[in-house]
Amino acid sequence: MNMMSFAVLSAMEAKGNLLLMEAAVFVLLLIRCVLAQQVPLDSAVQRSALLDLRSSLGLRSRDWPLRKEPCRSWRGVQCQNGQVIAINISGFKRTRIGRLNPRFAVDSLGNLTLLSSFNASGLSLPGSIPEWFGYRLPALQVLDLRSCSLSGSIPGSFGNLSRLNVLYLSGNSLAGNVPATLGELKKLSNLDLSRNLLTGQIPNAISLLGNLTRLNLASNFFTGQIPSGLYSLSSTQFLNLSDNALTGFIPSVVGNLDKLIELDLSKNSISGSLPLELRGLRNLEKLVISENGLEGQLSEGLFPTLDQLQVVDLSGNKLDGALPATLFLRPNLRFLDLSRNNFTGSWPILSTNGNASGAVFNISNNMLYGELNSSFGKFSLIDLSSNYFQGTVADDRGRNVSLGRNCLQSVASQRSSEDCRLFYAERGLSFDNFGVLEPMQPPVPQHEEKSSKRWIFILVGVFGGLGFIAILVIVLVLILRRCDKGIANQRGSADVGPVPEGDSTPPPKDPAIVSGVGDSFTYEQLLRATGNFSETNLIKKGHSGDLFKGTLAGGTTVVVKKVSLHSFKKESYMMELDLFSRVSHARLVPLLGQCLEHETEKLLVYKYMVCGDLASSLHRVTDLEDDSLQSLDWITRLKIAIGAAEGLSYLHHECNPPLVHRYRETCI
């Protein structure tokens, strides 16, 4: 071809017909070009290598038809001068046999000595990359084995692929260390080893890859510090080391990466602060260092030079100090996530000429406070929830604002006033208390609600109180009728009634009553006292345990409550013990002690009340309705009523916290 075209050219030149000559050159070049592509595979070795590959990978006749010329008709095969230079079998389907037996069986590639590109991404080729790969493919420039189910390690021989420009091995199960020989790939511009099982340190040899523009080592198990050499890769535009276990801090030499466009160091354990030198990254568009241990403040000086910034994600760190207003004013900013940090101070005063329109700002879960009275800038969505902002928010701020869990007035789902007051008090700041004046009495320890709903609560409180008093009166009347009976029956026996006549002082303190939860009895003691919990001693089956009458060795009559953990929840007796450890009043049945040593049966020991418990006494009243209703004089009734009121008053007002009870064992 060359000889022929030269001859024609010379002839034409002689004629001096330039125009004709140009046309002829064009036609000839065209023909040459077409022919070059269609030159059949002229090497028998390469032909058999391709056939081998076809059968070892189980490729289909539809893609690589046997009877046709590989260079012309096989899909994804590219030749030059009769030699295979590129194979792209990415996304191919396989024959049934090939599907059943997928392997990384590419040995025959070794005979395609001019192969410059091999792309098998997405094709399942379980197995490891053979060591010869680096030695026998000296022309390889592009190797794409993404998501090929590869295992084993990256062969050190890769360092001999001296022409390699693109190396994609992501999404496999490659393990072990990254061989330092990769540092010899002087022409490498794209290295993606992400989403593998690689371990060890990132080899410092990577810093020898002077032409590297993209480095992705994300989602592996790399440990140790980021090698300082990495920051000398001045051509690098994309650096993704996220989701590893990298430690150490970001050194000031990071400023050398002045071509960097995307930096992702998220999900590591990087500590320290963001160095001011970061402002040297004038081309930076994406800065993602979320989920690390960064601390310290964000300097205002960090951002004014970073005009290309579009995405900044520093969420999930320990950054503190004030929000840098300069960050909000980056002209191209469209996503800013500073959530889950420790930023404090008030909302920055943003000049209204801020250009970040349509941006998404997430500043939630910080410790910001004060009023939201300055401009937000132009945003499409802003999340300020879980901070401590107070005051009111003007309506014209748009609807895409999340303000939950703050201390704001007239906004739903805010923090409790306790939380807010505490936060502001700790910092010596004044808190507007949701715009409500301080109530005269200390507030009930309950969650403060929106001020607009306060009236509802006050009304509910008043009517609820009235209702409660009504119920109380009814209960007292019933008690009076019952105790008529009880005391009438005991007349003349002894003055051991629960409310001794003419005496409103507490009964003499039993020595067994101690503060806290009383004495510890042994299980045997209580077995003896109650006659092995015999049926005859059973007073009643209570709703939280069975009650037995018993006599202690000293002669004291007691009531033993047996809480069987088979039938009752553990909390029931714990609650009761807790209650008695906190309250003690003459009008409450005294708890004398407890026995908790038995695994499944917990015993509580009470003072014995002669007139029994309220519930069963009430039943007795109905049994004997016709007689002795009149036997109790009005003075006694009044005393009982006062006693009951004292007990209730104590529970509701004096003990802390106040108790609303459903106590039925109390004999008033």
Ligand X SMILES: *[C@@H]1O[C@H](CO)[C@@H](O)[C@H](O)[C@H]1NC(C)=O
The binder of ligand X chosen from 112, 202, 261, 264 (CB under 6 A): 264
- Residue 133 CB neighbour total at 10 angstroms: 23
Q: What is the DSSP letter of 282?
A: T
Q: From the CB of 660, what's the least distance to ligand X, in Å?
A: 36
Is residue 110 within the footprint of ligand X (CB under 6 A)? yes
Euclidean distance between CA atoms 654 and 26, whole angstroms = 106
Stretch that binds ligand X, among 225-233, 240-248, 457-465, 559-567 (CB under 6 A): 240-248
Q: From the CB of 245, what's the least distance to ligand X, in Å?
A: 14
The binder of ligand X chosen from 400, 410, 581, 631 (CB under 6 A): 400
Q: How many residues of this chain bind ligand X (CB under 6 A)?
A: 57
Is residue 331 within the footprint of ligand X (CB under 6 A)? yes
Is residue 631 within the footprint of ligand X (CB under 6 A)? no
Of 136-175, binders to ligand X (CB under 6 A) are: 142, 144, 159-160, 166
Closest C-alpha to 282, from 297, 310, 261: 261
User: Which of 121/628 has CB closer to ligand X?
Assistant: 121
Q: From the CB of 667, what's the least distance to ligand X, in Å?
A: 51
Give, for 519, the enclosing helix (H) or strand (E): strand 519-520
Stretch that binds ligand X, among 313-321, 490-498, 523-531, 589-597 (CB under 6 A): 313-321
CA–CA distances in Å: residue 72 to residues 87, 142, 250, 653? 13, 22, 53, 96
Q: From the CB of 173, what's the least distance to ligand X, in Å?
A: 15
Q: Which residue is nearest to ligand X (CB)?
A: 210
Q: From the CB of 642, what's the least distance to ligand X, in Å?
A: 52
Is residue 111 within the footprint of ligand X (CB under 6 A)? yes
- Residue 649 CB neighbour total at 10 angstroms: 13
The binder of ligand X chosen from 342, 410, 520, 567 (CB under 6 A): 342
Of 173-232, binders to ligand X (CB under 6 A) are: 184, 186-187, 194-195, 210-211, 218-219
Sequence-separated contacts (24+) of 34-38 with Cβ below 8 Å: 35/1, 36/80, 36/81, 37/71, 37/72, 37/79, 38/71, 38/72
- Residue 479 CB neighbour total at 10 angstroms: 22
Q: From the CB of 305, what's the least distance to ligand X, in Å?
A: 14
Torsion sign (Cα): 267, 269, 273, 279? negative
Is residue 353 within the footprint of ligand X (CB under 6 A)? yes
User: Which of 219/236 has CB closer to ligand X?
Assistant: 219
The binder of ligand X chosen from 380, 413, 451, 567 (CB under 6 A): 380
Closest C-alpha to 120, from 56, 176, 215, 69: 56
CA–CA distances in Å: residue 317 to residues 255, 302, 342, 420? 21, 17, 8, 23
CA–CA distances in Å: residue 347 to residues 92, 309, 421, 486? 56, 21, 19, 71
**Residues 34-53, mask of contacts with ligand X (x by CB under 6 A):** -----------x---x--x-
Q: From the CB of 256, what's the least distance to ligand X, in Å?
A: 14
CA–CA distances in Å: residue 82 to residues 37, 41, 127? 8, 4, 31
Identify whether the C-beta of residue 155 lies closer than 8 Å to the C-beta of residue 181.
no
User: Which of 46/617 has CB closer to ligand X?
Assistant: 46
Angle between helical axes of 2-15 and 18-38 (0-180°, round to 10): 170
Identify whether the C-beta of residue 355 lies closer than 8 Å to the C-beta of residue 336.
no
The binder of ligand X chosen from 192, 313, 383, 665 (CB under 6 A): 383
Q: From the CB of 49, what's the least distance to ligand X, in Å?
A: 5
Is residue 432 within the footprint of ligand X (CB under 6 A)? no
Stretch that binds ligand X, among 364-372, 526-534, 567-575, 623-631 (CB under 6 A): 364-372
Is residue 335 within the footprint of ligand X (CB under 6 A)? no
Stretch that binds ligand X, among 362-370, 534-542, 580-588, 610-618 (CB under 6 A): 362-370
Q: From the CB of 408, what's the least distance to ligand X, in Å?
A: 13
- Reading the block at residue 277, the tokens are 């030198």
User: Which of 338/480 has CB closer to ligand X?
Assistant: 338
Name the H helices within 399-540.
Answer: 417-426, 454-490, 523-529
CA–CA distances in Å: residue 283 to residues 4, 286, 305, 308? 53, 9, 9, 6
User: Which of 64/573 has CB closer to ligand X?
Assistant: 64
What order of strands is seen across the sheet that includes strand 318-321? 271-272, 293-297, 318-321, 342-345, 367-371, 388-391, 407-408
Of 554-583, binders to ligand X (CB under 6 A) are: none
Q: What is the 3-state secondary structure (H, E, C) of 99-149?
A: HHCCCCCCHHHHHCCCCCEEECCCCCCCEECCCCHHHHCCCCCEEECCCCC
Residue type at 330 in one-letter notation: R
User: Which of 184/277 has CB closer to ligand X?
Assistant: 184
Q: From the CB of 91, what's the least distance to ligand X, in Å?
A: 4
By the criterion CB under 6 A, which residues form the site for ligand X?
A: 45, 49, 52, 76, 88, 90-91, 107-108, 110-111, 119, 121, 135, 142, 144, 159-160, 166, 184, 186-187, 194-195, 210-211, 218-219, 240, 242-243, 262, 264, 286, 288, 315, 318, 320, 331, 339-340, 342, 349, 353, 355, 362, 364-365, 371, 373-374, 380-381, 383, 398-400
